[in-house]
Amino acid sequence: MANIAFIGLGNMGGPMAANLVKAGHKVTAFDLMEASRAQARADGAGIADSSVAAVKGADVVITMLPAGKHVLSVWNEVIPSMGKGALIIDCSTIDVESAKQAHALAAKHGIGSVDAPVSGGTGGAKGATLTFMCGGEDKAFAAAKPVLENMGKKIVHCGGAGAGQAAKICNNMILGISMIAVGEAFALAEKLGLSHQALFDVASTSSGQCWALTSYCPVPGPVPTSPANNDYKPGFASVLMVKDLTLAQDAATAAGAATPLGKHAQEIYKAFDAAGHGGVDFSGIIQHVRGLAGK
């Protein structure tokens, strides 16, 4: 069992750290928020006074933070205090450029590093069923994999530094676009007098089939577990979809890729967020789409 430092104990990091404790690791945790530290203590983690104190003697350091600037700031703080042979893993969703800078910082100090953003949301974090998309050298990935397996069910090595973040934003761009497409189809079906169930029964077994329809249907009824049946409580909040689509647009601009639908999807979710619905599950975008009728 490993000595693991866990920094960033929010909605995702808190339950992920708890799963490492359950798996028998010695976890030393830190977060800026007292409430998050108290929860981690109740879950069986040791609590450090600072990020730097948390990483002393750790074999593995994991960060789960809001954005690239937080990750770079924490990695800059902690890496000089990490032991030789230790490994650092960032599970946050951040921009590809910051992820590459973070890897370079670790390499400068002789520390192995992996970017390992996740999909699966808070349910996956609690249930240890996350998918990890990893970027980094083979040796670092091989060391990270057994640790990540305590928090997830699928661990994919996508390539070198930043490849995990690249995979994450490409996947979420597909998701953001396809959820709008499915919402538009249901909004049109409603106007045409077609029932939700009829459209679902046809499209879910036809060429319109996709995850946004069959696992996360944006109208109540056909998929009982989807947030549409629970007043669009997240799930995955629209504001986080705005974040991921913005990361995708930034990466597309930097790389010179054309992503016209990704750009339009970003604008649509931004408008939903600006109207005060950032906390609504992203499948609630169907309400916004219906509201555009006649405009």
* CB atoms inside a 10 Å sphere around CB 196: 17
Q: How many CA within 13 A on the CB side of residue 32?
A: 6
Instruction: Please select the residue that binds ligand NAD; options are 3, 4, 27, 31, rule is CB under 6 A.
Output: 31
* 132 touching ligand NAD, by CB under 6 A: no
Alpha-carbon torsion angle 161, 167, 169, 172, nearest 10: -160
Find the binding residues for ligand NAD in span 234-293 (CB under 6 A). Answer: 236, 240, 243
Torsion 275-277-283-284 (CA) sign = negative
The CB-of-150 to ligand NAD minimum distance in angstroms stands at: 17
Closest alpha carbon to 16 in 117, 127, 145, 90: 127
Q: Which residues are catalytic?
A: 168
Based on CB atoms, which residue is closest to ligand NAD, 19 or 185? 19
Angle CA 261–265–271, to nearest 5 = 145
Contact code string over 2-21 relative to ligand NAD, x by CB under 6 A:
-----xxxxxxx--------
Based on CB atoms, which residue is closest to ligand NAD, 32 or 261? 32
Contact code string over 161-200 relative to ligand NAD, x by CB under 6 A:
----------------------------------------
Residue located via tokens 């973040």: 165
Contact residues for ligand NAD, defined by CB under 6 A: 7-13, 30-33, 36, 51, 64-66, 70, 73-74, 92-93, 118, 121-122, 236, 240, 243
